[in-house]
Amino acid sequence: MKLQIPENIQAITPYPPGKPLDELEREYGVKNSIKLASNENPWGPSPKAIAAIQDALGSLNRYPDGSSYYLTQAIAKHFGMSAQEIVLGSGSNEVIEFLVKAFVGVDDEVITSHPSFLMYQKFVQVRGGKNLVLPLKGMRHDLQAILASVTARTRLVFLDNPNNPTGTYINPADLYTFLSAMPEHVIVVLDEAYVDFMDMSYQVDIYSLIKNSDGRCPVVSLRTFSKAYGLSGLRVGFGLMAKEIADCLHKVRQPFNMNSLAQVAALAALEDTAFFDQTIKKTITGRNILMRGVEELGCKSYPSETNFFLIDVGGDADALYNAMLYKGVIVRSMRAYGFPQCIRITIGTDEENARFLNAFSECLKELEYV
């Protein structure tokens, strides 16, 4: 074999997914392990989504509806927008990919922050575009530095709000000022994967940002069914944007990118407001309990507007991550993200949270971090 691998592809490092439970149990010989590493919904998918999938199984011999008509209509109604302003993806990750495919050519520039979600940069590398990666400032997106870095070649700016992995949010007033100063040729993508967990007073008015685009930079909002809606395994996300941008994204997507089970399940999940409201409520209660528990053990936890938060463990985070694996608890070490003393944990069920606190307490003592 004589592969000619292009330089931009060689340069890509694979995305590090959270360790799967099966793998942990196989490798470490532990049972009943728990995963608090990927910001999933611990209360499962909505029972209504499961029922919708069961009803749709008999039609799997047919291709899906390529326009995802019913799901798109329901999302449009939910946001008071039109179907032409919505693009669905196999996870919001795919919508990120569409944006980069449609708008970034060789040597075009894309601005992202670090540490932040890693997928933005990867798609840019695939296209042969240039990543401009700016460090967070005080754990938040450095809006001034981003503005100062914009050039005529800048196509996209990605801002996850709240940010993963820090859990911090952008002050809405700061964001509006930033958007007013942004040149019109740049698309600002607000990745709002965790917006549902955010305090209402911090949420930005996406509707008016998208609708009032005259003389302003366009704004795209990315949403997902993977977090609060509990459908990570099905891969459903979407973007809200001006019709002109949506039209470009539809050109680069496959005609059947949304499978039929994903379409019916997401529709049912969107309509199950009781399950959704419970998820938000229980997440915030769990977050408070966990944060208090962590502080009582002598560690600092960072404020978060999401279903996860960072903990300064007072020692090497990789070692703590490993020690936790032996106790059957999967968390994320933030060393690779530039926080060598931090782990990130996802809020779990009450039992999972208690299990985490026990294991965490034991590991801190074993490693003599406290």
Ligand X SMILES: *Cc1c(COP(=O)(O)O)cnc(C)c1O
Residue 182 has which token pair?
A: 């942004």
Of 90-98, 210-218, 275-283, 360-368, which segment contacts ligand X by CB under 6 A? 90-98
Name the helix (H) or strand (E) containing 238: strand 237-240
By CB under 6 A, residue 168 contacts ligand X: no
- The interaxial angle of helices 317-326 and 21-28, nearest 10 deg, is 80
The closest of 188, 224, 230 to 206, measured between CA atoms, is: 188
Residue 176 — φ and ψ, nearest 5°? Answer: -60, -40
**Of the residues 164, 221, 283, 333, which one makes contact with ligand X according to CB under 6 A:** 164
Residues 188-205, buried b or exposed e (16+ Cβ, 10 A)? bbbbbbbbbbbeeeeebe
Cβ proximity of 222 and 192 under 8 Å? yes
> Which CB, 121 or 328, lies closer to ligand X?
121
By CB under 6 A, residue 123 contacts ligand X: no
Give the whole-angstrom CA distance, residue 310 versus residue 304: 8
Residue 290 has which token pair?
A: 């966990």
Pairing of strands 300-301, 308-312: antiparallel
Give the whole-angstrom CA distance, residue 250 versus residue 239: 11
By CB under 6 A, residue 193 contacts ligand X: yes
CB of 80 to ligand X, least distance (A): 22
Give the largest Cα separation in the chain, rounded: 60
Of 133-141, 221-229, 288-296, 309-317, which segment contacts ligand X by CB under 6 A? 221-229
**Of the residues 39, 113, 161, 333, which one makes contact with ligand X according to CB under 6 A:** 39
The closest of 245, 301, 215, 257 to 90, measured between CA atoms, is: 257
Of 61-69, 99-107, 225-233, 291-299, which segment contacts ligand X by CB under 6 A? 225-233
Give the whole-angstrom CA distance, residue 97 versus residue 74: 23
CB of 227 to ligand X, least distance (A): 6
Of 73-81, 126-134, 219-227, 323-331, which segment contacts ligand X by CB under 6 A? 219-227
By CB under 6 A, residue 40 contacts ligand X: no
> Which CB, 108 or 191, lies closer to ligand X?
191
By CB under 6 A, residue 117 contacts ligand X: yes
58, burial (CB in 10 Å: exposed 0-12, middle 13-18, buried 19+) = exposed
By CB under 6 A, residue 68 contacts ligand X: no
CB of 75 to ligand X, least distance (A): 14
By CB under 6 A, residue 301 contacts ligand X: no
Which amino acid does the sequence have at 337? Y
CB of 344 to ligand X, least distance (A): 10
By CB under 6 A, residue 92 contacts ligand X: yes
Residue 99 has which token pair?
A: 């944006």
> Which CB, 101 or 327, lies closer to ligand X?
101
**Of the residues 109, 191, 196, 305, which one makes contact with ligand X according to CB under 6 A:** 191
CB of 40 to ligand X, least distance (A): 9
Pairing of strands 308-312, 109-114: unpaired
Q: Sign (positive/negative) of CA torsion 289, 295, 298, 302? A: positive
Total chain residues near ligand X (CB under 6 A): 14
> Which CB, 30 or 133, lies closer to ligand X?
133
By CB under 6 A, residue 33 contacts ligand X: no
Of 174-182, 222-230, 285-293, 359-367, which segment contacts ligand X by CB under 6 A? 222-230
By CB under 6 A, residue 230 contacts ligand X: no
Site for ligand X in 310-369 (CB under 6 A): none
> Which CB, 195 or 294, lies closer to ligand X?
195
By CB under 6 A, residue 108 contacts ligand X: no
CB of 6 to ligand X, least distance (A): 25
Give the whole-angstrom CA distance, residue 263 versus residue 358: 40
Pairing of strands 86-89, 237-240: antiparallel
Interface ranges with ligand X (CB under 6 A):
39, 91-93, 117, 160, 164, 191, 193, 224, 226-227, 232, 237
